[in-house]
Amino acid sequence: MRCEVVAIGTELLLGQITDTNSSWIGEQLALVGIDSYFQTKVGDNLDRIVDTIELALGRSDAVICCGGLGPTQDDLTREALARVMGVPLEADEEMEERIFGMFAGRGRRMPSNNLRQAMRPEGATFIPEQPGTAPGLICEVERAGVPKVLYAVPGVPWEMKEMVGGTVLADLQRRAGITSVLRSRTLRTWGESESGLAELLADRITELDDHGNPTLAFLASGMEGLKVRITAKADTAEAADELLAEEEARLRVLLGPLVFGVDDDTMESVVLDLLRERGLSLAAAESLTGGMIGSRLCDVPGASDVFRGGVVSYASDVKFDVLGVPEGPVVTEDAARAMATGVRRVIGADVGIAATGVAGPDEQEGRPAGTVCLAVVVGDPADGGTVDSLEVHLPGRRRQVREFSVITLLGLLRRRLLELD
């Protein structure tokens, strides 16, 4: 079974929106054992959409069309699918009522053009999941006597993911006759490069290449960490999960403290859990990160019972006047330690963390772009508390330097908290 992805929308071609949907769909297809050799983008033009879908049908057994299911005149996926199927569009009264009910439930008037979303090619069926007003479609076609299938899902990522995960993948597996189960687990790591991880795991990768199951893959993900994905195939979900657990245990022995989490864990969620377990509160002083640390922490539900707040001391005089940093150079480990100590005192927290440095593109205080100084203070240094600091030189442009600073600082805090045990 080969499945192709067609992303529809002129905004994708113009670079106004990054097509993350196709990447996600491609990953999910691979995880369930469906081959995918092509991904295509096409603008909002009916003839070109039809031509693109026909090309995809000529070389694949299934096509997932993503986008173009909205209520406006440039949402043409329904019309294109009807033309490919050689059938007319027809209104579905039940879908009209469902969409009307969505608007009524929000206390809003439904614009008449939303009725376009209740249109479907004759013979097509709606995908059961419908988180938004745009219903997805399943359209069966035939080419040269061979049955094929078209799926249409919205371009809104969370709506698309619910439909693909809820119906499309299972339907593809059924049509392909796939009875085995593929499961994956992702170990999140920080502290080594992708090549460094590959070197640490070289012998194990060679062993797995000989066996073929499970398999390993690496994915560098910025301040989300460097991911090591384990994929296992078995006759049952239980057997696949057992393979994953066994391989995770082996990798943890090889990687040690580089592994900070699994699957949806983030460095900030792990750090907040460690603080919570130890009954400690946290405050952050940020210079080059400009509030990014606090934002990431606050993205985690329940962060307020641990994270008390922070000070964005971007200007040097704020470091001096608010945090009590001694006047002088501010891109130093001494300055970072003073910032962490000061924010802990100002906010009234058990733990203070700080980041200062040069995000770039120009050097500052004679320090090149990418120079970052980090510090963690646990307890009052005057009463025997500990102060840790680190100077690192991070790669990338301004945004990447700031993002890497966040996960590197939180990683330093994680290691310090683990040492408390």
105: Cβ contacts below 8 Å, ≥ 6 apart? none
pLDDT, tens digit, 9 for 90 and up, residues 326-360: 999 999 999 999 999 999 999 999 999 999 999 99
CA dist., res. 209 & res. 355, Å (int): 42
Q: pLDDT tier at 178 (50, 70, 90 boundaries)?
A: confident
Residue 46 has pLDDT above 90, yes or no: yes
Q: What per-residue confidence (pLDDT) applies to 32?
A: 87
CATH of the domain at 8: 3.40.980.10
Q: What per-residue confidence (pLDDT) applies to 320?
A: 97
**Whether 381 and 358 share a structural domain:** yes
Q: What per-residue confidence (pLDDT) applies to 61?
A: 97
Query: Do 377 and 385 form a contact (C-beta atoms < 8 A)?
Result: yes
CA dist., res. 174 & res. 81, Å (int): 22
CATH of the domain at 210: 3.30.70.2860
Residue 406 has pLDDT above 90, yes or no: yes
**Whether 11 and 54 share a structural domain:** yes
**Whether 150 and 213 share a structural domain:** no
**Whether 56 and 201 share a structural domain:** no
Query: Do 369 and 358 form a contact (C-beta atoms < 8 A)?
Result: yes
- Enter the DSSP assignment of 305: G
Domain of residue 171, residue span: 3-176
**Whether 401 and 323 share a structural domain:** yes
CA dist., res. 283 & res. 350, Å (int): 8
What number of CA atoms fall less than 13 Å from residue 212's CA on the CB side? 1
Domain count, the chain: 3
pLDDT, tens digit, 9 for 90 and up, residues 376-399: 999 988 888 899 999 999 999 999
CATH of the domain at 371: 3.90.950.20
| Residue finishing a domain among 212, 228, 262 | 262
**Whether 223 and 321 share a structural domain:** no
Q: pLDDT tier at 298 (50, 70, 90 boundaries)?
A: very high
pLDDT, tens digit, 9 for 90 and up, residues 265-275: 999 999 999 99
The amino acid at 140: E
CA dist., res. 78 & res. 83, Å (int): 9
Query: Do 346 and 359 form a contact (C-beta atoms < 8 A)?
Result: no
What is the gyration radius of the CA atoms in the chain, in angstroms?
26
- Report pTM: 0.77
pLDDT, tens digit, 9 for 90 and up, residues 226-237: 999 999 989 888
